[in-house]
Copies of this chain bind each other. A is one copy, B any other.
Amino acid sequence: MPIREDVVVSLLFTVLDLIGTFAFAISGAIAGIRHRLDIFGVLVLSFAAATSGGIIRDLVIGALPPASIQDWRYVGVSLLAGLVTFFWHSRVSRARQAVLVFDAIGLGLFAVTGAGKALTYHLGPIPAALLGMLTGIGGGVVRDVLVSEVPVVFRTDIYAAAALAGASLVVAGNTLGLPPQPLAIAGALVCFGIRMLAIYRRWQFPVARSPESPAE
């Protein structure tokens, strides 16, 4: 559990966590609307997208029950984002863009809070950076698996790499003794920036040359 001096840090991470929750919940709701789910399905998918990353993080570090289940604010924020999106999507034709932007915001915030919470629980630098990445990509992976799409993370844009970069910056700065608040904000911005640039400039990592197409 977080010690006394970490109270402010802990509060900061809770706030960022809630903003990330809101952003991922919107991305989940938009995905649900695009797949013509009913309102309850949209809300469940909002919740799944918003909380899966944090639930994975908390399961892994043993912070049980996970914050996003125990703390009503995560539920409330998810529902609010789902309802707002459901009733206020008049021009949902812009949805594909919006999913990507909100997804990137959530990715950056969760990567940072995942790494930060892992450090608070005394994980080493490599596990903490890795867990930041997993926290960031978890919500999007679960969201996409649930609507039977190959997860965004596995399509050829820089995605998990952006999360890893943001998380690594937090971990590296922590090792150097830098103050956590600006670090967290910098990490989230780095992740968001890389992701947005990757989308708009169509940055891609290399793909292996393969003479063979997928099995199916």
Residues of A within 8 A of B (CB): 32-42, 44-45, 55, 59-62, 64-66, 69-72, 75, 86-87, 89, 92-93, 95-96, 121, 123-124, 126-127, 130-131, 134, 137, 141, 145-151, 153-156, 158-161, 204-208, 210-216
Q: Which residues of B contact A45 (CB under 8 A)?
A: 154
Instruction: Give the Cβ gap from A4 to chain B, nearest Cβ, in Å.
Output: 23
A96 to B211 CA separation, bound complex (whole angstroms): 13
Instruction: Give the Cβ gap from A204 to chain B, nearest Cβ, in Å.
Output: 6
A35 to B212 CA separation, bound complex (whole angstroms): 9
A61 to B216 CA separation, bound complex (whole angstroms): 37
Q: Which residues of B contact A208 (CB under 8 A)?
A: 33, 36, 39, 42, 86-87, 89, 92
A55 to B86 CA separation, bound complex (whole angstroms): 31
Q: Which residues of B contact A206 (CB under 8 A)?
A: 38-39
Asked if A34 and B70 make an inter-chain contact with CB atoms under 8 angstroms apart, the answer reads no
A41: contacting residue among B32, B86, B160, CB under 8 A: B160
A95: contacting residue among B36, B71, B212, CB under 8 A: B212
Q: Which residues of B contact A145 (CB under 8 A)?
A: 145-146
Seed contacts A41-B160, A93-B212, A146-B151; 6 additional CB < 8 Å A-B pairs: A32-B154, A36-B208, A45-B154, A65-B121, A72-B127, A147-B150
Instruction: Give the Cβ gap from A156 to chain B, nearest Cβ, in Å.
Output: 5
Asked if B40 and A130 make an inter-chain contact with CB atoms under 8 angstroms apart, the answer reads no
Q: Which residues of B contact A124 (CB under 8 A)?
A: 70, 72
A149 to B59 CA separation, bound complex (whole angstroms): 26
Instruction: Give the Cβ gap from A93 to chain B, nearest Cβ, in Å.
Output: 5
Asked if B70 and A127 make an inter-chain contact with CB atoms under 8 angstroms apart, the answer reads yes
What are 30 A-to-B residue pairs whose CB atoms are below 8 Å?
A34-B215, A35-B214, A37-B154, A39-B205, A39-B208, A40-B160, A41-B153, A41-B155, A41-B160, A44-B160, A60-B64, A60-B65, A61-B64, A62-B65, A65-B123, A65-B131, A69-B127, A69-B131, A70-B123, A75-B127, A92-B208, A92-B211, A92-B212, A93-B211, A95-B212, A146-B151, A146-B154, A147-B150, A148-B148, A148-B149
